[in-house]
Structure 1
């Protein structure tokens, strides 16, 4: 969704915005802020973890519980109930299910199983993103919200092709919402890497990228057996590779379909009006820049 001017945005009676960008740039912060000002908040990661991967996550919990004799008997007799307590703020059940490939003795899972779960996540994310128009309608029809904000999660760029003008996910999001890329900084990237080193966590990779990096990592470490890969070491190395891979993809999406704001602008935003003013200024600057290039 593009606008002829910032004023055109301001004059709309209903708004729909999709924020995207790297982890930690402020997507969830802005979505949460707007929610407090009567916007419907849609979390793609929450939708993935509840609607599309909820059964996979819970089944994995059950597999682990079945390894414990005490819990095994209770499960088989339907004496206990296991569920995921995923929330907007706590997406650990989803990331834990994705896991990390490598040595099982170090907490890893076989690479083939890892790829299977990655494929499940890819399909779930695509479906959750394509659900945006439905939730915009539901937000109004059921709950009476005039405004809608989508927190797209960090891996949007991994499930779309920004070079394809007919990419169905990007077409859908751009038709029904204003796509806004929150651009990070070099310092933020370094901070993410250091934070990840201390607490490696599962991530989603584009399948072709994952295959290439898995081969590259093993060659660098001199490892020939998948089962001997240190899962945390690969996770940290892979995360650094992933950040460099994602930035140009985010920028390409913004260039074709949306707008760019800087993460440094986010902390100063306190109200709905602050956010809309920033978006309006961004639209005006974009219109002027594209006019100069034309």
Structure 2
């Protein structure tokens, strides 16, 4: 049950799940709050890459290394080892594993392999979010009573009420809604730096069919992976917005990214959240 504004502002323990696309200000919010009080910062993407997809990431890298006979020999006689050095600030290995669909010669993945990895990512994200209560307990036991769950942008795509109810039971789910200006920035960034994304299976199949028809392609392997990400991002953003709004309406609260960017101190952020709850 979400707290009232009065309950939230007077609570000694602030526990939040940040919901929204990457780039809406989740890190900005976390940094402002951390300047005033100590917070345990839980990254869903880090948990996914370091725990639930770690073996898959390593196996993928090892398979690529073994394509070179010289490196394969060094690996098999244990002259070299491979590690997944994923960190809060560097999630490149997890992102590279998720990959982009399309022409393998342009760095793309075949559709079957891409959908397999998408399914693995979904299950990993579900598990990472269900781990939140345990990490809250660990943080509390170590003397840190405030908690921020920095959830991935694809949280709304899980369509898993158990996950949302668990997060709502232990944290306030806070949706940071992108302003028009912020949306334009997100879209521009996707055009210049297209990155791997998670898509629900039915949505992906529908959009691939449209993209193939528009470009008069016969096979997914003809698709330029980066071009497809640029094309689909606007559609993905439009799809996710009502999903975010529904979760926030049912389980949490909504603030606007433009209002958040105006905040310079933790008190202003907390006041903004309280206003959203009131």
Instruction: Select which of 192, 213, 223 maps to 2:207.
Output: 213
Q: Deviations over 1:59-87 (max 9, x none)?
A: 11111212223322211111112112211
Cα deviation for residue 10 of structure 1 reads 2.1
Counterparts of 2:162 and 2:17, CA distance in 1:
16
Q: Deviations over 1:104-155 (max 9, x none)?
A: 11111100000000000000001111111111111111x2101111101111
Tell me, yes or no, if the aligned pair for 1:182 and 1:263 is still in contact at 8 Å: yes
Counterparts of 1:172 and 1:85, CA distance in 2:
29
TM-score by length of 2: 0.95
Tell me, yes or no, if the aligned pair for 1:25 and 1:184 is still in contact at 8 Å: yes
Tell me, yes or no, if the aligned pair for 2:182 and 2:257 is still in contact at 8 Å: no
Tell me, yes or no, if the aligned pair for 1:45 and 1:152 is still in contact at 8 Å: yes
**Partner SS for 1:22:** coil
Counterparts of 2:183 and 2:12, CA distance in 1:
37
**Within the alignment, does 1:59 sit opposite 2:53 as a pair?**
no
Tell me, yes or no, if the aligned pair for 1:42 and 1:148 is still in contact at 8 Å: yes
Counterparts of 1:191 and 1:31, CA distance in 2:
20
Tell me, yes or no, if the aligned pair for 1:31 and 1:150 is still in contact at 8 Å: no
Counterparts of 1:34 and 1:78, CA distance in 2:
46
**Within the alignment, does 1:244 sit opposite 2:238 as a pair?**
yes
Question: Which residue pairs with 1:135 in the alignment?
Answer: 135
TM-score by length of 1: 0.90
Question: Which residue pairs with 2:147 in the alignment?
Answer: 148
Question: Which residue pairs with 1:288 in the alignment?
Answer: none
Instruction: Select which of 221, 225, 240 maps to 2:219.
Output: 225
**Partner SS for 2:40:** strand
Instruction: Select which of 167, 174, 184 maps to 1:180.
Output: 174
**Partner SS for 2:149:** strand
Counterparts of 1:188 and 1:104, CA distance in 2:
33
Cα deviation for residue 251 of structure 1 reads 0.9
Cα deviation for residue 9 of structure 1 reads 1.2
Counterparts of 1:221 and 1:31, CA distance in 2:
42
Question: Which residue pairs with 2:197 in the alignment?
Answer: 203
Q: Which residues of structure 2 form unaligned runs of 5+?
A: none
Tell me, yes or no, if the aligned pair for 1:34 and 1:149 is still in contact at 8 Å: no
**Within the alignment, does 1:262 sit opposite 2:259 as a pair?**
no
Counterparts of 1:59 and 1:266, CA distance in 2:
41
